[in-house]
Structure 1
Amino acid sequence: MTTNTVYSATAPDRAEIDALQAPTVVEFGANWCGYCQAAQPSIAAAFDRHPRVRHIRIEDGKGRKLGRSFGVKLWPTLIFLSQGREVARLVRPADADAIAEALGRIDTGA
């Protein structure tokens, strides 16, 4: 599975996220965010090692309920979910290895 390259302006409801059974990463950020743009090569490299994990990129900002429900304050924030439950979280991840380690915690078939 390839990683998404654009943050979606349309966010699912929190209940939809909580109901996900497959290993999933929800990434909060913004297309214009420099930190988000700088993190993309590391995120893509880590996901290359975990193609089974679903990657949902959500545009975050003032008044965005999904990000607030997860307590997101800085971008990018990656929430690693297994069966709809948060297993790990990375804020402004610095390298692909940290992302891959968190992905390994939810991708049990890797």
Structure 2
Amino acid sequence: MSYSRDYASQEPSRADIDAGRGWQLVEFGAPWCPHCSAAQSVLKDWLDVHEMPHLKIEDGKGRPAGRSFKVTLWPTVILLRDGQEVARVVRPRGDGDLAVFGHALQG
């Protein structure tokens, strides 16, 4: 599983996210958000190279997963390894914005 075009039909619990093994990219946003739409090609291109699970979670007021990660702006993209946050990017616009993820994968 790699790039997910659609948001998850059911929001996973924080415990489910934390239980993930290996690398995974978690994206918080909303389908109507222009910043989220603009980031999709950058995320897809990055995931085409760094294949890993992409968990796309629709966020909003009162949504527990986003609140547990202290998400305040969309999209917020978080790189996890074995359920632990390694790096975070808010509102990526280009490949350079995701360079922090590449550095984290090498470290």
TM-score by length of 2: 0.90
| Counterpart-to-counterpart distance in 1, 2:74 and 2:50 | 22
Structure 1 gaps, min length 5: none
- Residue 95 (structure 1) shift: 1.0
| Counterpart-to-counterpart distance in 2, 1:47 and 1:97 | 14
Question: 2:87, 2:100 within 8 Å by CA — same for their partners in 1?
Answer: no
Determine whether 1:36 maps to 2:46: no
Question: 1:22, 1:54 within 8 Å by CA — same for their partners in 2?
Answer: no
| Counterpart-to-counterpart distance in 1, 2:48 and 2:81 | 19
How many residues of Structure 1 are paired with residues of Structure 2 in the alignment? 107
Structure 2 gaps, min length 5: none
Determine whether 1:25 maps to 2:25: yes
Determine whether 1:62 maps to 2:67: no
Q: 4+ runs of 1 displaced by more than 6 Å?
A: none
Whichever residue aligns with residue 69 of structure 1, its letter is S
Look up the match of 1:97.
96
| Counterpart-to-counterpart distance in 1, 2:55 and 2:102 | 14
When structure 1 is superposed on structure 2, of 94-103 and 65-74 the one drifting more is 94-103
